[in-house]
A = this chain, B = another copy of it.
């Protein structure tokens, strides 16, 4: 890496999970639009072919970066300046077990990848991988900045620091951006302010990933809170229409939300929850918004089935082929993600303040130190400093604290390969409404279903 005027040349970016057909293409698109940086992107994936295909796709794009698939993670990481981690831990078959096995015991999950029973088992197989990543980073590029996009976000970032305490890692998630866009729309609709940029909606962010809260939302001299209160009351009165439930765009249906959960939470807690309803519901008492499919319908959001994700993956594989064959041209569009802006800020090419996931050093004093939290942070040259967020309001803390505790326990369990301790976390998860015996049965079943990716645990001899 070297600075030439106001540009950085010869930057080295490593991409772990570089065979991805989602986030990887997004990065390619954002890098292609960037004129002040150039260099190389090394794509590592356990599916080498997928990485190789992305190398081909990436190098078809006219831009300042060259793409290289690597066969080992060491090769990708060696002397990297930045590392991006975005993997699918296991396959969608494992995710299917995470999300749908609990349904047999009456527990429904709308996403199932960050918290709750699915999130916990996903964590169990993901965390040993992140230990490996952290060790490889310590060996190959200890000074690199590491950006994680993988879920369960909180646990993944936590494990990076647990394994290599001096790592310079943070986790990124766009759920807050979505809420900023919602606020932007409310503002544009309710007041005559003209068109606004998302980034002009200034928010104070606090909480944990996928259960973040905006304790302040401001546009210039306008406090957005009173507007959101009006909006919340309107939304909760609105009947759930046919449009919300059907239509030919069944894809949207599976990801849709009406924001009713967000609005109900606002009336309960007086604060704006800043993630989609599908995520938020998984952090609340199970019977509030989830409970059963009928209740989910009532709250007008969706239980996203993994079968859909499988179908979508097929389409992306098809698209990948077409991009390689040239049947399809790669479209360069801004993704709305901030990864590239963050990289530039860290290089000293312009400060940035945005929300990220970092270990709690005290930015939220009433969350245990070390647990990963999501707040705003200030990005400048070789630096990401959390902005002080203060105590989480105590009623909201009552929902967050048990999740933090469960995840902290899961970290220890994964680190020590201790399935008994993992069960303790699973049993104590606030989404777990089963008794001890049922919990044991479900846990064993979910482990069995995903055992292919649990070989680092001594599953064979494990009994509860």
Q: Which residues of A contact B (CB under 8 A)?
A: 1, 3, 200, 202, 204, 216, 218-221, 223, 264, 267-270, 285, 287-288, 347-348, 351, 353, 361-363, 365-366, 368, 376, 378, 380-383, 385-388, 390, 394-395, 397-399, 401-402, 404-406, 408-409, 424, 427-428, 430, 433, 435-436
The reply to whether A405 and B395 contact each other, CB–CB distance below 8 Å, is yes
Does the CB pair A381–B264 fall under 8 Å?
A: no
Given A395-B402, A395-B409, A402-B398: A381 and B219 interface contact (C-beta under 8 Å) = yes
Partner of A376, one of B204, B216, B361, B378: B378
Cβ-neighbour of A264 out of B353, B368, B436 (below 8 A): B436
Given contacts A269-B428, A362-B388, 6 further A-B contacts (CB under 8 A): A218-B383, A221-B348, A385-B387, A388-B388, A395-B402, A398-B402
SS of A interface (majority):
mixed
Closest residue on chain B to residue A360 by CB atoms: B388
**In the bound complex, what is the Cα–Cα distance between A387 and B384 (angstroms)?**
10
Q: Which B residues are CB-close (under 8 A) to A267?
A: 436
State how many angstroms separate the Cβ of A277 from the closest Cβ of chain B.
Answer: 15
Known: A218-B382, A381-B202. A394 touches B401 (CB 8 A): yes
- Bound-state Cα–Cα, A409 to B288, Å: 22
Shortest Cβ gap from A46 to chain B (Å) = 32
What residues of chain B lie closer than 8 Å to A376, measured between beta carbons? Answer: 378, 385
**A220 and B348 contact, CB distance less than 8 A:** yes
Contacts of A382 in B (CB 8 A): 202, 218, 221, 223
> Would B221 and A395 count as touching, CB distance under 8 A?
no
**Which residues from B are CB-within-8-Å of A361?**
388, 390
- For the complex formed, measure the closest distance between the CB of A426 and the CB atoms of chain B, giving whole angstroms: 11
Check A285 against B433 for contact (C-beta < 8 Å).
yes
Q: With A267-B436, A398-B428, A430-B398 in contact, do A381 and B221 touch (Cβ < 8 Å)?
A: yes
- Is the Cβ of A394 less than 8 Å from the Cβ of B388? no
Bound complex: CA A385 to CA B204 (Å): 9
* Contact A385 to B383, CB < 8 A, known contacts A220-B348, A221-B1, A353-B351: no
CA distance A378 to B351 in the complex (A): 11
Q: Which residue of B lies closest to A269 (CB)?
A: B428
Which B-chain residue is minimally distant from A352 (CB atoms)? Answer: B351
Q: A220 and B3: CB pair below 8 A?
A: yes
Instruction: Find chain B residues with CB under 8 A from A399 CB.
Output: 402
Counting from the closest, the 4 A-B pairs by CB-CB distance are A398-B402, A394-B405, A220-B348, A202-B380
Cβ distance A2 to chain B, nearest Cβ, rounded Å: 9
Chain B residue contacts of A368, Cβ below 8 A: 366, 394
Residues of B within 8 A of A424 (CB): 270, 395
Q: Which residues from B are CB-within-8-Å of A402?
A: 395, 398-399
The chain B residue sitting closest to A270, CB to CB, is B424
